Structure 1
Amino acid sequence: MKRKEIITLFWVSVAVSMFLFFAFTENKNLENFLYTLLISFIYSFVLGGANGLLNTFLNKKIPWAEATTKRAFISIASIFITNFILVYFCNYINFVVIQKGATTEAFFSGKYNFLNWFTINVALLISAFLHAKGFMEELKKVSRKEVVEQKLIAKSANAQFESLKNQLDPHFLFNSLNVLSSLIDENPQQAQKFTASMSKIYRYVLEQKDKEAVTVEDELEFAKTYCDLLKTRFEDSVDFIFDVKKEDFRKYVVPLSLQLLLENCIKHNFATSSRPLTVRIFSDGDALCIENNLQVREQIKESSGIGLSNIVQRYSLLTKRNVFIEKSEDYFKVKLPVLATKPNVISTEPDGQYKAYKKAQKRVKEIKGFYTNLISYCIVCSFLVFINLVTQSRNHWFWFPVLGWGIGVASHAFKVFGIGEAWQEKKIREIMNKQK
């Protein structure tokens, strides 16, 4: 139990004891006040504390968001059983042990049944409030989580858009077409190969642009094709070395990340026959490295770093591992995390999200309505029982509203958590699956 909850129970005990002492105690002396305070502490800490611990335990074992129906049934059953036992325990301590107004035989003979029942209703009210509070807190957490997921979806969509803009680099297309134009006259056969390689490049871009992760093997095949185009364009001014372990081939990386990094190597470094640019793609532990010797090209406009930030953003959506960038006087290196399994990503389909949101919203309203009904039932019925026992102790008319409304609450519970539209839909799906 948290410190804040203990302090709350303490002040509740003090407030209740002072109310009972000044309103119902005839002999107002220190001894009676201490007795009242002790009894109030017993009821508050035993009933309130136990129900709070029960709610906390159920929140950890069976969260509302993961198993709403199961949690509701277990909560209802557990609070009835727990409060029944706790109320009898507290009343026994109060009337038999502390006040000594009854013997053990008299207490369990039925003399205190109405008082026990009334106290159980009050305890159920407290417990229902705690569980409803826990449900609302869980609902807030889920809502916050959905907001975070929506932000991630928006961030992912923006990252994919930026990625596409970088992947279809107009400068690369312009330079490639110039090379192709010169090859058509000089070497038609090489021009055909160059055209086929360009076709593979853009086919891969279109195929992979909507994916979150691809195998290292597919990304390497694409990178080699891309390097062939660059090799045709720059001839012996650039050199590409691939040294990736075969055990990494079935692992995953962000698609088109190698293309962005290779394009950066060409864009930001000069390459000549006398001073060739060497680019290495190799394995380094659980990372895929792209390293080039540093031959910085003088640029009028400073680099915006969109390519690297794009890769970092897309990796941040898939893993907690970081993209590392190393720069020295001699080389520039980027380490891409290699993922052992294909990551689970959030669906970015707006229609599916909207339907799921509406369905969840409807479900929350149903559960909220049931708990409002349950709390109202506990409050009103407890008040009716109190009025009946105080005014007419022999004529017990409170049974009629208690039983009548109780049947309504029970049917409401079955509709929301068991025998309702969700149950019917589940059965329909089961029958359809069997017929298939």
Structure 2
Amino acid sequence: MKRKNLITLLWISLVTSMFFFIFFTDEKNVENFLLTVLISFMYSFILGAGNGLINDFLNKKFPWSEATTKRAAISIVSILIANIILVYFCNYVNFVLIQKAVNTAEYFSGRYNFINWFTINVALLISAFLHARGFMEELKKTSKKEVVEQKLIAKSANAQFESLKNQLDPHFLFNSLNVLSSLIDENPRQAQKFTASMSKIYRYVLEQKDKELVTVEDEIEFAKTYCDLLKTRFEDSVDFVFDVNKEDYRRYVVPLSLQLLLENCIKHNFATSSKPLIIKVFSENDTLCIENNLQVREQMKESAGIGLSNIVQRYSLLTKKNVFIEKSEDYFKVKLPILLAKPNETSIKVEDNDKAYERAKKRVKEIKSFYGNLISYCIIIPFLIIVNLITNPKHIWFYFPMLGWGIGIVAHGMSVFAIGKNWEEKKIREILEKQDKR
């Protein structure tokens, strides 16, 4: 047992002994005071240490954070059995061995059943308080751990997203310079025209690469400009067809995704005047599709795979919707999800983490409210029992607040752990999941 708990038990023993010595001891002398202190220490340390050891053992075997329902059931059974045994033992030592008020046969004959029953109830209330406090400490640790984990996930997602976006700038520049290098040898005049167009396109790259999302309209306009640049080099060998629904123009896609996919089409397929490469950009079921006829060229060296993997990873950090890839003998198609989210918002995963944290925070507040109610019950009801037995033992009235408040605590516990709003939240999640799948 921890030193802090031992000090707490010491103070409880002193306060209890003073209370019983002042209100229940007829002859107030040093001998009776020491006897009262001894008995109080025995009850406090045997009951307190016994329940503390049970709580520590259950914390190791059945942590609250991993098996809450199972732990609660085991705690109820274990403290009930343990406190009955400990109370009978303490009362036996007190009345038979220390005070010698009765012998063993008289003690177990039923004469002290009421005292045993009363002490067991007080012990159970104290045990419930200790276990509730243990649960709150464990919940606090778990909540802090979850908050730290959520913050790390959010920071990791943002760092990964920034890393992916930073690939775009050098990647585009490197590939554009390769095209320019080829044009200088093939057609110097076209190379000059290409350089002028590339400066305009590169300005767009610099402006958009730091954004999470851009409108489909902006991306299409940029793609058309980039296609003009490619036509400068390939002329009739490449043909581009755009057929995007106007209603999709105000929705959003990942920036520079079309440029990377158009670049992939050129990179992995050969194109000639007799067998032109036809690249189509069109809308299809809330996706933006980029499709080309398959004319695979032999790769001299293995591709770095930056383009497509970059798009897939950026979408995975922004939405649960997937990037789909279709490939047949005749064509290759990539489907980009068209999103409804506004640009420059915090990424969806980070928002989900924040919402999850807020829900967890609200849940913790509800649980803390319940255990605050339970702890108040465990403190006030024993006090009312003592007041009732001291002032008017013939008229037992403490049952009414004990039962009324007890029913209220049971209802509160059911609302927090069992019935409550859980079914509502579950239904809401089911409805949202169905809508996401449509």
Range of TM-score over shorter length: 0.5 to 0.7
Match of 1:367 in 2: 367
| Alignment deviations for residues 330-365 of structure 1 (CA, whole Å, 9 cap, x no partner) | xxxxxxxxxxxxxxxxx9724433443344334333
1:119 partner SS: helix
Greater mean alpha carbon deviation, residues 45-54 or residues 415-424: 415-424
Residues in 2 aligned to 1:139 and 1:103: alpha-carbon distance in whole angstroms: 47
Q: 1:196 aligns with which of 261, 264, 267?
A: 267
Residues in 1 aligned to 2:423 and 2:95: alpha-carbon distance in whole angstroms: 47
For 2:311, the aligned partner's letter is L
| Alignment deviations for residues 163-214 of structure 1 (CA, whole Å, 9 cap, x no partner) | 12431233x53343223222246479x99999506895322322234669xx
Check 1:5–1:410 CA distance in 2 against 1; reply closer, same or farther (3 A cut). same
Residues in 2 aligned to 1:348 and 1:61: alpha-carbon distance in whole angstroms: 38
Greater mean alpha carbon deviation, residues 12-21 or residues 114-123: 12-21
**1:113 positional shift:** 2.9
Superposed, 1:343-358 pairs within 5 Å as 349-358=349-358
| Alignment deviations for residues 208-254 of structure 1 (CA, whole Å, 9 cap, x no partner) | 34669xxxxxxxxxxxxxxxxxxxxxxxxxxxxxxxxxxxxxxxxxx
Match of 1:207 in 2: 312
Check 1:367–1:144 CA distance in 2 against 1; reply closer, same or farther (3 A cut). closer
Q: Is the 8 A contact 1:132 1:371 kept in 2?
A: yes
Check 1:76–1:417 CA distance in 2 against 1; reply closer, same or farther (3 A cut). farther
| Alignment deviations for residues 132-177 of structure 1 (CA, whole Å, 9 cap, x no partner) | 221221222122113312331232133224312431233x533432
Residues in 2 aligned to 1:58 and 1:157: alpha-carbon distance in whole angstroms: 37
Residues in 2 aligned to 1:109 and 1:376: alpha-carbon distance in whole angstroms: 36
| Alignment deviations for residues 387-412 of structure 1 (CA, whole Å, 9 cap, x no partner) | 33223333333333333433333344
Check 1:174–1:416 CA distance in 2 against 1; reply closer, same or farther (3 A cut). closer
**1:43 positional shift:** 0.8
Q: Is the 8 A contact 1:96 1:102 kept in 2?
A: yes
Match of 1:329 in 2: none
Match of 1:164 in 2: 164
**1:29 positional shift:** 4.7
Match of 2:110 in 1: 110
Q: Is the 8 A contact 2:154 2:349 kept in 1?
A: no
Match of 2:75 in 1: 75
1:180 aligns with 2:179: yes
1:349 partner SS: helix
Residues in 2 aligned to 1:151 and 1:410: alpha-carbon distance in whole angstroms: 36
Superposed, 1:26-425 pairs within 5 Å as 26-170=26-170, 172-184=171-183, 186=185, 195-196=266-267, 201-209=306-314, 349-422=349-422
Q: Is the 8 A contact 1:118 1:385 kept in 2?
A: no
Residues in 2 aligned to 1:40 and 1:82: alpha-carbon distance in whole angstroms: 19
Match of 2:5 in 1: 5
2:63 partner SS: coil
For 1:155, the aligned partner's letter is K
Match of 1:261 in 2: none
For 1:73, the aligned partner's letter is A
**1:48 positional shift:** 1.0
Q: Is the 8 A contact 2:150 2:353 kept in 1?
A: no
For 1:87, the aligned partner's letter is V
State the TM-score, normalizing by the size of structure 1: 0.57
**1:22 positional shift:** 5.2
Match of 1:16 in 2: 16
| Alignment deviations for residues 249-282 of structure 1 (CA, whole Å, 9 cap, x no partner) | xxxxxxxxxxxxxxxxxxxxxxxxxxxxxxxxxx
Q: Percent identity?
A: 61
**1:366 positional shift:** 3.4
**1:91 positional shift:** 1.1
Check 1:174–1:377 CA distance in 2 against 1; reply closer, same or farther (3 A cut). closer
Residues in 1 aligned to 2:428 and 2:310: alpha-carbon distance in whole angstroms: 42
Residues in 1 aligned to 2:415 and 2:178: alpha-carbon distance in whole angstroms: 71
Residues in 2 aligned to 1:163 and 1:20: alpha-carbon distance in whole angstroms: 70
For 1:408, the aligned partner's letter is G
Check 1:423–1:120 CA distance in 2 against 1; reply closer, same or farther (3 A cut). farther
**1:79 positional shift:** 2.7
Residues in 2 aligned to 1:187 and 1:200: alpha-carbon distance in whole angstroms: 27
Gaps of 5+ in 1: 213-346, 431-436
Q: Is the 8 A contact 1:377 1:405 kept in 2?
A: yes
State the TM-score, normalizing by the size of structure 2: 0.57
Count of residues paired in the alignment: 294
Match of 2:273 in 1: none
Q: Is the 8 A contact 2:79 2:124 kept in 1?
A: yes
